[in-house]
Amino acid sequence: MILTKAQYDEIAQCLVSVPPTRQSLRKLKQTFPSQSQATLLSIFSQEYQKHIKRTHAKHHTSEAIETYYQRYLNGVGRNGSAPVLLELANEIATEVDYAPSLMARIILERFLQDHEETPPSKSVINSMLRDPSQIPDGVLANQVYQCIVNDCCYGPLVDCIKHAIGHEHEVLLRDLLLEKNLSFLDEDQLRAKGYDKTPDFILQVPVAVEGHIIHWIESKASFGDECSHHAYLHDQFWSYWNRFGPGLVIYWYGFIQELDCNRERGILLKACFPTDIVTLCHSIA
């Protein structure tokens, strides 16, 4: 699913101030029936993350935290089984509009500050978010759990889904490489050898795709938008180029067409496994 910048912008336009709930996703699918669900979800997720990054700081001032905590306490004081925390996070009218899982984290941290002697460590918080049963307050545990299962952009479950998607596509890619009889070193093998930067696969014998030499392949189970692509270029793709030469990136959920502009310099983008692979002929007949 390769979109032009204009097409992408049209979709992104519809995602402004939409809470990350399953209901929102359902509506989005109805609005853009021609796009694949996975692509839409990926775009939505990335756009929402951008929004969160922009507003992250304002939710973490001590005043904001205090306000949220008081509102939470008031809310559960009135009715502990009402979705207090979730609604607090998704409140757009009062300009809260923050990811439920992240809001849950804020409140949990604040709560633990009140109830524990030492400030909670990050790993304790993470562990409680993964398994809210560990939260000493039953009401809060339920509230947190509700936030996490209702958040489709953040939280341990979403992280796990993303990780799983990434892994699945790597497996898929590995199978395709095996099927094509292309020998490769995978990330684990590379790491064992002490490589400092490791693409998903390094081809032991380079191939050509659409006339471009490919030494390595990176699988990205997401949509390649400008923001993420530039981050990837800086942190990964150029680093791979710097070590292994030109390579191929597969954005399984598509990318913005205009981003595929570094082909000449050694970074080729595709939205699927390439079909026309030219391999080195060993025998000179």
Partner 1 sequence: MAAVLESLLREEVSVAAAVRWIARSAQSSEDDPGEAAALRSLRPLRKEFVPFLLNFLREQSSRVLPQGPPTPAKAPGSSAALPGRPGGPSRGGRGARSQLFPPAEPSSAAAAEAPPARRGGRRRGPGPGRERGGRGPGGLEEGVGGESPPWAAGRRRRSSGSPGSPGRARSDPPNLSNLEEFPPVGSLPPGPAGTKPSRRINPTPVSEERSLSKPKTCFTSPPISCVPSSQPSVPDTSPWGHGLPPGCRSLQEEREMLRKERSKHLQQSPTPACPTSESGSPLPSRTGNLTAEAADPARVSSRQRLELIALIYSSCIAENLVPNLFLELFFILQLLTARRMVAAKDSDLEPTPGAPDSLESPLFQSVHDCVFFAVQVLEHQFDKGTLKLLAENERLLCFSPALQGRLKAAYEGSVAKVSLAMPPSAQAVSFQPETDNRANFSSDRAFHTFKKQRDVFFEVLREWEDRHEEPGWDFEKGLGSRIRAMMGQLSAACSHSHFVRLFQKQLLQMCQSPGGTGGTVLGEAPDVLNMLGADKLGRLRRLQERLVAPQSSGGPCPPPTFPGCQGFFRDFILSASSFQFNQHLMDSLSLKIRELNSLALPQPEPSDEDGESDVDWQGERRQFAVVLLSLRLLAKFLGFVAFLPYRGPEPPPTRELQDSILALRSQVPPALDVRALLQQGLRARRAVLTVPWLVEFLSLADHIVPLLDYYRSIFVVLLHLHRSLVLSKESEGEMCFLNKLLLLAVLGWLFQIPTVPEDLFFLEEGQLDAFEVDTVPSEHGLDGMPVVDQHLLYTCCPYIGELRKLLASWVSGSSGRSGGFVRKITPTTTTTGLGAQPPHTTQGLQAQLAQAFFHNQPPSLRRTVEFVAERIGSNCVKHIKATLVADLVHQAESLLREQLVMQGQDGGDPAQLLEILCSQLCPHGAQALTRGREFCQKKSPGAVRALLPEETPAAVLSSAENIAVGLATEKACAWLSANITALIRREVKAAVSRTLRAQGPEPAARGERRGCSRACEHHAPLPSHLISEIKDVLSLAVGPRDPEEGISLDHLEQLLGQLGQTLQCRQFLCPPAEQHLAKCSVDLASLLVADQIPVLGPPAPRGLERGQARRLLHLLLSLWKDGFQVPVPLQLLLSPRNVGLLADTRPREWDLLLFLLRELVEKGLMGRPEIEACLGSLRDAQWPKDFSEELATLFNLFLAEPPMPEPQLRACELVQTNRGTVLAQS
Nearer to partner 1, 13 or 123 (CB): 123
Which chain residues interact with partner 1 by CB under 8 A?
A: 22-23, 81, 83, 86-87, 130-133, 135, 138, 141-142, 145-146, 149-150, 156-157, 160-165, 167-168, 171-172, 175, 193-197, 211, 234, 238-239, 241-246, 263-266
- Least separation, in Å, of the C-beta of 239 and partner 1? 5
Nearer to partner 1, 266 or 274 (CB): 266
Indicate the DSSP class of residue 180.
T
Cα-trace Rg, the chain: 23
Pick the closest to residue 259 from 236, 232, 235, 226 (CA basis): 226
- Least separation, in Å, of the C-beta of 1 and partner 1? 18
Beta carbons of 247 and 266 less than 8 angstroms apart: yes
22 CA to centre of own chain: 17
Which residues make Cβ contacts (< 8 Å) with residue 132, sequence separation at least 6?
Answer: 141, 142, 144, 145, 148
- State the angle between helix axes of 122-130 and 100-115 in degrees (0 to 180), rounded to the nearest 10: 120
- Least separation, in Å, of the C-beta of 212 and partner 1? 8
Tokens of 182: 């292309």
Pick the closest to residue 72 from 149, 80, 59 (CA basis): 80
CA distance 244 to 177: 18
- Least separation, in Å, of the C-beta of 264 and partner 1? 5
* Structure-derived torsion over alpha carbons of residues 102, 128, 222, 202, reported in degrees to the nearest 10: 140
- Least separation, in Å, of the C-beta of 147 and partner 1? 9
- Least separation, in Å, of the C-beta of 122 and partner 1? 17
For residue 193, give the 3-state DSSP assignment.
helix
Nearer to partner 1, 65 or 213 (CB): 213
How many residues appear in the chain?
285
Nearer to partner 1, 77 or 138 (CB): 138
- Least separation, in Å, of the C-beta of 193 and partner 1? 4
Which residues make Cβ contacts (< 8 Å) with residue 69, sequence separation at least 6?
Answer: 106, 107, 110, 111
- Least separation, in Å, of the C-beta of 8 and partner 1? 20
H or E stretch covering 2:
strand 2-3
Nearer to partner 1, 9 or 168 (CB): 168
Tokens of 176: 């395709």
Nearer to partner 1, 120 or 245 (CB): 245
Nearer to partner 1, 114 or 196 (CB): 196
Nearer to partner 1, 54 or 122 (CB): 122
